[in-house]
Structure 1
Amino acid sequence: MKIVINKILEKLDIDESAVFNIFAVTPSIEKAISYLEESNYTIVAQDIDSDKFVQLKVMDILYLEYLERQIFLYTKKRTLIMKDSLSNFSKTLPNEFVRISKSTIVNSLDIKTFIAQKNGNLTLETLSNEKLIVSRRYVTNVKKALQNSND
């Protein structure tokens, strides 16, 4: 197991290392390895403020919206834009990303709280204090994603 983790750290270009004495590879261990592998996956998008194209780690995305045939990517520090269809782009996203409406996908690891509404929708708050509406149709997706992140 030590070899696998070292290879992941090398791919991620991380100088830090850790040694784990693992007797069996459990689903939790597999999930941790998968997360380490996915955390370095990057895309290229255009910064709205500077119009420069930048490389962005996908796991830095808090949420994304599809508006006017463009995908707006929101991080803690900036907003970026890219041209792609939401259905096409969503296929490349890690499992931590969950659709909350027809045009919005959120990183489930960045969900801080959520509140049920009388109409069946949810209002969720991200770690960056953004409030997003989860439409009734996608409430089950959010609950599953949050449950999976706790497993």
Structure 2
Amino acid sequence: MKVRVEIDGDLKNKEIVIKAPRYDAETESLYQSIQNLYGQIKPLVFLKGTSEYYLDVNDILFFETDGRQVHAHTRDDEYVIRYRLYELEDLLTGQFVRISKSAIINSNQVYALTRSVSSIVVRFQNSSKQVYVSRRYYKVLKDKLERRR
């Protein structure tokens, strides 16, 4: 592996680029490591009742909209978050992927995809919760899960 530093005075922010002949497990591992070290994820505040919670985003199964609110689902609980889905999509890169107009899932928590004639359902590890995938977003999800192998 070759490591190189390029200085560009026109840049306003630092940028890390990974160049590889193919996307494999080593590339994914390198990407995840950099994301974990230098990711720009702001601390997310989750609300439940009158309490504020500071959860690890890796514990989140999925985010979904319900009316005008966005809910974050963990294995056992549900919280409200003050971000819109499009904002979360920009903040949470890497393991999170959009699966419909109203949901973003944590691909590391996916246990199974169940396809039927009328729908595609995502089930999660150690949870009875499930969410539906839009046909429009299915290929992106499938590719993401394939790369994870």
**Large movers: runs of 4+ above 3 Å:** 34-38
The match for 1:44 is 45
Specify which structure has the bigger relative contact order, considering alpha-carbon pairs within 8 angstroms and separated by 6 or more residues.
2
The match for 2:123 is 125
**Number of equivalent positions:** 121
The Cα shift of 1:66 comes to 1.4
Q: 1:77 to 1:34 in 2, by over 3 A?
A: farther
When the two structures are superposed, what TM-score results if normalisation uses the length of structure 2? 0.71
Identity %: 25
Q: Is the Cα contact below 8 Å between 2:64 and 2:71 reproduced in 1?
A: yes
The Cα shift of 1:84 comes to 2.3
The Cα shift of 1:94 comes to 2.5
The Cα shift of 1:79 comes to 1.3
Partner SS, residue 42 of structure 1: coil
Is the counterpart of residue 137 in structure 1 residue 136 in structure 2? yes
When the two structures are superposed, what TM-score results if normalisation uses the length of structure 1? 0.70
Give structure 2 stretches of 5+ with no counterpart.
1-25
Q: 1:34 to 1:85 in 2, by over 3 A?
A: same
The Cα shift of 1:78 comes to 2.1
Partner SS, residue 112 of structure 2: strand
The Cα shift of 1:112 comes to 0.5
Structure with greater proportional helix content: 1
Q: 1:148 to 1:65 in 2, by over 3 A?
A: same
Partner SS, residue 54 of structure 2: strand
The match for 2:95 is 96
The match for 1:108 is 107
RMSD: 2.1
The Cα shift of 1:148 comes to 2.1
